[in-house]
């Protein structure tokens, strides 16, 4: 039954996470924004905290009983995806770049958990794993990558260049996307676990960025890089059509709401900052008066808060669906399309409204404006999210709507 009240337990959990962010992230937020590429050693505190966990083995007694589809009474539950969404938002209220730098919580870790075998999870579960999809010539069109993987005996041989890899320097291993059959197009794209230190695997350079400077972003060169045969994630078989590629893309259904939650966290930080400024000047926010009878700053404040509510609800819904085994491809993209864009606009507007206080590096508002912009770019740009939503609701395929 529809009930969008936040359970008290969750609220408490989120407050705890926010306190953690307040005490551990905020004090070093500026420091690592300025010390670009330097690993925030304070984050070692999190190294052994279970942030991305191996999902608990399902109780066989429970899985045996036919699962009621969510949407029917009693099927709803609050699960791991939603939990991660709440903590991600709270931590990004502290600092999104530091969240991205949390040890052992890379995008590659998410991919490993989503599609890795028990044996692979055993071998790599304790490592920090980055994700390398993007190439100089393949950004949004990730199906067009040209890094190759060729099976030679018991080893895959990888060749190519990967750019914009988050946690490039800090990670212990990287999930690398490569094609095993260029002629097969998307169907030939597979992902491989490549450990740091493997000969032929080289970190080429680190980027200097607009924002999220505490998060390192780098380029890898793969030059006849040999990895064990069983380091392929998922099946090596090249299936007809796009089904296989869709499988690879499925991790995004879980990670896109996470990026949306990061956007929500930054937006909420900016909105809270504006609220503080407003309250210092004696404004009383009572959620009553016709907005047209308020001053423009109060009106802007309410509008942004309403947007944040919408961003959150779209995000929670996408994660809730994943927790309840409902296909959320559409809703995941909706959440990121909305949150990525609005967080960008909200942080811009907060800076503008705060004037000198927004512009000065004495405060964090300017940093949030720089940080938030990435949320509308990585894990699929805003345009790509709109493309996915549009194809979904219009029932068009990728050749009809390009």
Partner 1 sequence: MLDFSISKEQKMIKNEIAKLVKDLVVDNAHEMDETGEIQPETLQSIWEMGVSTAGVPEEFGGMGPGGSPVDTALILEELACGDMAVAVAATLPSLFIQPLLQFGTPEQQKKYLPMYCGEKYKPCTLAVNEPHFRFDAVDLKTTATRNNGGYVLNGEKCFVPLARKAEHIMVAASLEGKSQLFIVESGNPGMHIGEREKNLGLYSLESSEVKLTDCQVADDDRLGEENGCDYDRILQRTRIGLCAMATGVCRASFEFVRKYAKERVQFGEPIAHRQSVAFMIAEMAYEVDAIRLLTWKAASRLAAGLDAGRESYLAKLYAGEKAMKICDYGVQVLGGHGYVRDYPVERYYRNSRGISILEAMAIV
Ligand X SMILES: Cc1cc2nc3c(=O)[nH]c(=O)nc-3n(C[C@H](O)[C@H](O)[C@H](O)COP(=O)(O)OP(=O)(O)OC[C@H]3O[C@@H](n4cnc5c(N)ncnc54)[C@H](O)[C@@H]3O)c2cc1C
Spatial distance between the Cα atoms of 263 and 376, rounded to a whole number of angstroms:
9
Count other Cβ atoms within 10 Å, centred on residue 377.
18
C-alpha 12/C-alpha 18 separation (Å) is 10
Query: Which range of residues in 51-59, 127-135, 196-204, 233-241 is near ligand X by CB under 6 A?
Result: 127-135
Torsion of CA 41, 35, 198, 165, to 10 degrees: 110
Q: What is the DSSP string of 176-228?
A: EEEES-GGGGGGGEEEEEEETT-TTEEEEEE---SS-TTS-EEEEEEEEEEEE
- Per CB under 6 A, does 164 bind ligand X? yes
Question: Which residue, 77 or 246, is less far from ligand X as judged by CB?
Answer: 246
CA distances from 386 to 61, 133, 242, 245, 333 (A): 41, 20, 20, 19, 7
Near ligand X by CB under 6 A: residue from 82, 102, 114, 131: 131
Q: How far is the CB of 180 from ligand X (least distance, A)?
A: 18
Q: How far is the CB of 343 from partner 1 (least distance, A)?
A: 14
Select the residue interacting with ligand X from 120, 198, 381, 392 (CB under 6 A): 381
Are 112 and 193 in contact by the 8 Å Cβ rule? The answer is yes
Reduced to 3 states (helix: H, G, I; strand: E, B; else coil), residue 305 is helix
Could you tell me the smallest distance in angstroms from the CB atom of residue 396 to partner 1? 6
Chain CA centroid to CA 359, Å: 27
| Distance between first and last Cα of the chain | 38
Residue 245 binds ligand X (CB under 6 A):
no
- Of 186 and 391, the one with the shorter C-beta distance to partner 1 is 391
Active site (annotated) includes residue 36: no
Per partner kind, with CB cut-offs from 5 to 8 A, the member of partner 1, ligand X, none near residue 119 is: none
258 interacts with partner 1 by CB under 8 A: no
Q: Which of 374, 375, 388, 389 binds ligand X (CB under 6 A)?
A: 374
**Cβ atoms 99, 91 nearer than 8 A:** yes
Q: Which is nearer to partner 1, 307 or 349 (CB)?
A: 307
Binding stretches for partner 1 (CB under 8 A): 1-7, 10, 70-73, 75-76, 78, 82, 287-293, 302-303, 305-307, 309-310, 313-314, 316-317, 320-321, 324, 334, 337-338, 383, 386-387, 389-391, 393-396, 400-402
Binding stretches for ligand X (CB under 6 A): 107, 130-134, 139-140, 164-166, 209, 212, 217, 374, 377-378, 381, 383-384, 387, 402
What positions carry a catalytic annotation? Answer: 379
């Amino acid at each position: 039954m529809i009930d969008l009240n936040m359970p008290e337990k969750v609220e408490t959990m989120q407050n705890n996470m926010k306190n953690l962010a307040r005490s551990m992230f905020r004090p070093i937020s500026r420091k690592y924004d300025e010390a670009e590429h330097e690993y925030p050693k304070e984050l070692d505190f999190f190294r052994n905290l279970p942030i991305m966990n191996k999902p608990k083995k399902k109780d066989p007694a429970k899985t045996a009983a036919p699962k009621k589809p969510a949407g029917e009474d009693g099927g709803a539950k609050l699960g791991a995806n939603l939990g991660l969404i709440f903590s991600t938002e709270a931590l990004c209220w502290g600092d999104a770049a530091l969240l991205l730098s949390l040890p052992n919580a890379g995008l590659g870790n998410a991919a490993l958990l989503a599609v890795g075998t028990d044996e692979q999870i055993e071998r790599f579960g304790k490592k920090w794993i980055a994700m390398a999809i993007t190439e100089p010539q393949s950004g949004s069109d990730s199906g067009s990558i040209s890094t190759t993987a060729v099976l030679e005996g018991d080893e895959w041989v990888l060749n190519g260049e990967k750019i914009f890899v988050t946690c490039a320097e800090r990670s212990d291993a990287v999930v690398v996307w490569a094609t095993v059959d260029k002629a097969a197009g998307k169907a030939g794209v597979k992902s491989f676990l490549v450990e740091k230190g493997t000969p032929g695997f080289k970190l080429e350079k680190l980027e200097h960025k607009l924002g999220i400077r505490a998060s390192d972003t780098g380029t890898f060169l793969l030059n006849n890089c040999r990895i064990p045969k069983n380091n392929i994630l998922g099946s090596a078989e090249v299936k007809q059509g796009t089904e296989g590629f869709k499988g690879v893309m499925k991790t995004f259904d879980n990670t896109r709401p996470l990026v949306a939650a990061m956007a929500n966290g930054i937006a909420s930080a900016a909105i809270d900052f504006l609220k503080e400024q407003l309250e210092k000047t004696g404004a009383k926010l009572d959620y009553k008066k016709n907005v047209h009878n308020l001053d423009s700053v109060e009106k802007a404040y309410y509008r942004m808060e309403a947007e944040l509510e919408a961003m959150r609800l779209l995000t929670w819904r996408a994660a809730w669906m994943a927790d309840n085994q409902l296909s959320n491809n559409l809703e995941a993209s909706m959440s990121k399309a909305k949150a990525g864009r609005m967080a960008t606009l909200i942080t811009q507007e907060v800076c503008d409204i705060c004037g000198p206080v927004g512009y000065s590096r004495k405060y964090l508002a300017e940093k949030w404006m720089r940080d938030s912009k990435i949320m509308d770019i990585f894990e699929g740009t805003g345009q790509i999210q709109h493309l996915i939503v549009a194809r979904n609701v219009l029932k068009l395929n990728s050749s009809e709507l390009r």
